[in-house]
Chains A and B, each alone.
Chain A
Amino acid sequence: MAHRTPRRRLYRILLRLLPRDVREQWGRDMEEVFAHRLARDGGSPLRSVTVWIRAVADLLGHAAAERWAPRRGGKGGGWRMTGQDLRYAVRAVGRAPVFALAAVVTLALGIGSVTATFSVVHAVLLEELPYQAPDRLVMVWPEENYNKAMVASTLEAVPALESLSGYSVWDFTLTGEGEPREVKGVLVSAGHFELLGVEAALGRTFTPEEGEPGRAGVVVLSHGLWVRAFGADPDVLGRVLELSGAEYDRRTVVGIMPAGYDPLLGEGDLWVPLETDPSLSPEEDGSWFVNGRIGRLAPGIALEQAQEQVRAYALAIQARMPRLLDVEDARTATVQPLRTFVAQGLDRVLWVALGAVSLVLLIAAANVTNLLLARGEARARDIAVRSALGAPRRRMMRMLMAESGFLGGAGGILGVLLAYGLVHVLVRSAPADFPRIQEVDVDRAVLTFAVAVTLLATLVAGFVPAWRGSRANVVSSLGGGARGAGGRGSSRLNNTLVGAQVGLAVMVVVGSGLMLRSLHRRLEVDPGIRGEGVLTLHPNPPESRYTEASAYRQYYAEVLRRVGGLPGVRSVGAINLLPGTQSNWSFPTYPEDVDIAEDGTVPSVNFRGVVPGYFETVGIPLLRGRVLEAGDRTDAEAVLVVNEAFVKEFWPDGTALGKGVRVFSRTGAPYRVVGVVADVRQHSRKEEPRPELYVSYEQWGWGAIWSVDPDVPISGLDELAAVMGRSTGTTRFLALLLTGFGMLALCLGAVGVFGVTTYMVGRRTPELGVRIALGGSRISVLATALRGSLTPVLAGMLVGLLGAASTSGLLDSVLYGIEPTDPVTFAGVSLLLVGVATLATLLPAWRTTRRMDPVRVLNGD
């Protein structure tokens, strides 16, 4: 058999869950099977976590079955809980209901939070994507300037890929089915669905021929759209829809996808074939670029092989077509597992969140340990009597563990109920673009996890108290009143508990502090626009009535005039793409005095078409020159306005006014720069502003703009600030989540310190009484108590800060504007913790000394 690795050793420890006879006969073989499983399926850290979780669930499930319902030929369990133990536990809990409630609620808070967080981690990171052999699905980069013909040529040049599908997300307008509606469509290569290994729920997906020019007038509907727009009518198959948006205005419905099919995160209401002319080479294909590419690796191919081949292909294309592809883009071309792409870089932060909430659970378990220890002392006499009557220690431990098991079980059940509620809240408050959020659910895997966590927490919380409690000192317990067990060892244990709780709380609170500071920093960034008080609307001039550019101009002029005339409206403007949304137009641009070699890369600049009034309306300040005006019409000189980033990038000396800029081609008539405006963070506050130019609709031409991006129905009114707020949604959500954990950690930690101090001060009551009787002031007594508990608090804090400093780097990818070791956060958290710990110490100490009557204390009452 293979040499025993640490993993196998860990698994061997887990095997102790099984009855001894089973373990002794089969343990060795089971270890070997587990090692095989891990070697076969545990390729990456993520997968080996999955294997471990499944192996633990496998063991727990079967161990429970072995012990409580032994199979034919098996023997009963070795430490099966007897009815007597259970009765004892129920009686013990019944005698101290407040203690029991405190323990159950504390455990439930910990277990509930961990379970809810795990359900998110499970859905987003662990659960297989619902496609055939999802491990072989990948995304192919570079992101930009990938034309349709390159999809086919990539597949030819990269043997590591078995198939490849390009896609583009597009807005469509569905008319003739009641109210016109705006729908999100995805243009996909004809083999897209075969690549993913999914079939239509009704009808069929696309045939290979439907990807050819002139054959693509078909559409596959999502389950959601089928229900919303067609009332789930199966007769919609074969119907011709009026669906304008891309190339065809009428398309025949050939299939309906199953519910939940959505590989691109909420972007698909329908799918249409991406028309590709197979005779075109990448150089000849001048149509447009696809947004992304999903590929399937050939069987047995490693990711690295595919990455190398794709990079080689991109570099070759770059050499052939330097104007199309940037050298840097080609060099960084790569292949990324689809699962990673879908997780949107949240994998690390989600693991951090799960780690943080596990620490919270540990704090909760430590609190319960505390409670059980205090109870144990009160019961020392009872245990001593049983022990004196000859009960073996093993039996006592079992009895005491039954009590914590009972509390743990109740905490687990309440925790799972809490998790259901929390998951509901999480799903509802998550931003819509949070990956796979709709799949988050308390399912069987999550419940198994909750059971495992409950067992673990019960064991952690109950073992030490049971161990200590069962070691009854008959003489001192029976001879010396109720204050028997304990002494120096006991206070050392208490100090360790306090220190551990503070240390854990520091780590969690530092994490949430960093997220909060980072969110604050991001909201502080000036987006360059005043979004408050600006209403946006998205009008839809029906295509059938507005076929001419002049008709569009009239329509919009009328919309602007009427909106401008409404009471309370101060100014009106318009732009083709609202800031804060993810769409972008950027075109090849040739600024005057900028040397661009014939075969060099042409700079691509953000392009916006606006209606005069836009800058004033959204509050973009004019820095130099003038903004676009009503007089900038086709019969006047062609002019444009650029932003500051544009000037910095192309004319570092700052002279911009009066210079010429050509858009699209180096030979066309130039526009003259008449103004410079401040930068706007178009997509999110996280991104630096990009060079941008603004042209008047009048001069660019209505038809030109609207024929590229066809109109959509009016889609509700939104405040611009709200539209822009969506770009910070995920950060906000994660910050809230971690802050919740931080608060919980702080509260549980404070309760822990409070409990231990109460208990310790209580134990020292005789000593304190003597001090007061001898003339010591209450202040000096308080100071003694504070000294006693602040030492472990400070020690715990130090360890916690070190732990936080060494792990906070994991948050780096989601932090903005601060370092993971941000001194302000660390100092603030330290102060907060010291303050809370001081309060939690002084309060019980003060209460005790205030009530203390030295005479009674000295009499031993």
Chain B
Amino acid sequence: MADMPDPTHDLPLHPLEFRILLALLEGASYGTRIVEHIEAVEGHRMTLYPANLYRRIRDLLARGLLAEASAPQGADPRRTYLRITAVGRAVARAEARRLQELVGEAARHRLLPGS
């Protein structure tokens, strides 16, 4: 892991990029399943359209945060499966830490209930 690039270079992540990385933490997946995963959490706050989604995905691929994965047994071979890379995992972790600090600051200013 000596040549792992500094994950903080990629921060802050675009919210959709972070969402895509999170969706892939559970294992390799493909476009529509990723969209369903995101919508299950975000509801109508995030409505995804194909060109936007795939531009982000291609960007993440180009930056090495995602990689193409082989389709699982019995899956439609025409779908492109994606998985998160070690770099992607490190960047997602760094982004989560960044957001945690942000939330901590909001709490200090009493923006959150119970804070």
Contacts and interface: CB of A to CB of B under 8 A. Distances in A.
Interface of A: 1, 18, 22, 25-26, 28-34, 36-37, 40-41, 54-55, 58-59, 61-63, 65-66, 71-74, 133
A733 B53 CA distance: 43
B51 A29 contact: no
Given A29-B32, A30-B54, A36-B32, A71 B48 contact: no
B62 A71 contact: yes
Interface stretch (B15-23, B76-84, B85-93, B97-105): B76-84
B55 interface: yes
B42 to A, nearest CB: 13
Contact of B35 (A36, A62, A72): A36
Contacts of A36: 32, 35-36
B31 A73 contact: no
22 contacts: A22-B54, A22-B58, A25-B80, A26-B54, A29-B32, A29-B50, A31-B50, A32-B32, A33-B32, A33-B49, A33-B54, A34-B49, A36-B35, A37-B35, A37-B47, A54-B47, A55-B49, A58-B51, A62-B51, A73-B59, A74-B58, A133-B44
A1 B55 CA distance: 22
A28 B78 contact: yes
Nearest to B39: A40
Interface string B24-36: 0000001110011
Given A72-B63, A73-B61, 15 more contacts: A26-B58, A26-B80, A30-B51, A30-B54, A33-B35, A33-B50, A34-B49, A37-B35, A54-B47, A54-B49, A58-B51, A62-B51, A62-B52, A71-B62, A74-B62
A58 B50 contact: yes
B51 A63 contact: yes
A72 B76 CA distance: 29
Contacts of A25: 80
A29 B59 contact: no
A37 B49 contact: yes
B77 to A, nearest CB: 10
A28 B59 CA distance: 18
B40 to A, nearest CB: 11
For chain B, what secondary structure do more than half of its interface residues adopt (helix, strand, loop), or is it mixed? helix
A1 B36 CA distance: 15
A33 B57 CA distance: 13
Nearest to B55: A62
Contacts of B79: 1, 28-29, 32
B62 A1 contact: no
Nearest to B78: A28
A627 to B, nearest CB: 62
B52 A37 contact: no
Counting contact residues on chain B (CB < 8 A from A), the size range is: 20 to 34
Nearest to A36: B32
B61 A33 contact: no
Contacts of B50: 29-31, 33-34, 37, 55, 58-59
Given A71-B58, A71-B62, A73-B62, A30 B52 contact: no
Nearest to B80: A29
Pick from B31, B78, B79 the residue with the most CB of A within 10 Å: B31
A31 B48 CA distance: 13
B54 A29 contact: yes
A58 B49 contact: yes
B49 A29 contact: no
A63 B78 CA distance: 23
Contact of B31 (A30, A41, A59): A30
A662 B7 CA distance: 87
Contacts of B49: 33-34, 37, 54-55, 58
Given A1-B76, A41-B47, A33 B62 contact: no
Contact of A58 (B44, B52, B63): B52
CB-CB nearest 7 A-B residue pairs: A73-B62, A58-B49, A62-B51, A30-B50, A29-B31, A33-B50, A72-B62
Contacts of B39: 40
A746 B38 CA distance: 51
Nearest to B36: A36
A61 B51 CA distance: 9
Contact of B51 (A18, A32, A72): A18
Contacts of B35: 33, 36-37
A59 B57 CA distance: 15
B55 A65 contact: yes
Contact of A29 (B30, B44, B47, B55): B30
B95 to A, nearest CB: 19
Contacts of B47: 37, 41, 54
B45 to A, nearest CB: 12
Contacts of B44: 133
Nearest to B53: A33
A29 B57 CA distance: 12
Contacts of B30: 29
Nearest to A11: B50
A36 to B, nearest CB: 5
Contact of A32 (B31, B52, B58, B62): B31
Contacts of A28: 78-79
A32 B81 CA distance: 13
Contact of A33 (B31, B58, B59, B63): B31
Contacts of B63: 72
Nearest to A61: B51
A473 B44 CA distance: 57
A74 B61 CA distance: 11
B51 A59 contact: yes
Contacts of A59: 50-51
Contacts of B51: 18, 30, 58-59, 61-63
A32 B47 CA distance: 15
Nearest to A31: B50
B49 to A, nearest CB: 4
Contacts of A26: 54, 57-58, 80
A62 B54 CA distance: 10
Nearest to B64: A73
A65 B61 CA distance: 18
A63 B52 CA distance: 10
Nearest to A17: B51
B54 A72 contact: no
A74 B80 CA distance: 17
Contacts of A1: 76, 78-79
Contacts of B55: 62, 65-66, 71
A18 B52 CA distance: 12
A72 B39 CA distance: 28
Contact of A37 (B48, B62, B78, B80): B48
A449 to B, nearest CB: 15
A28 B51 CA distance: 12
A669 B108 CA distance: 75
Contacts of B48: 33, 37
Contacts of A133: 44
Nearest to A72: B62
A328 B44 CA distance: 40
Contacts of A32: 31-32, 79
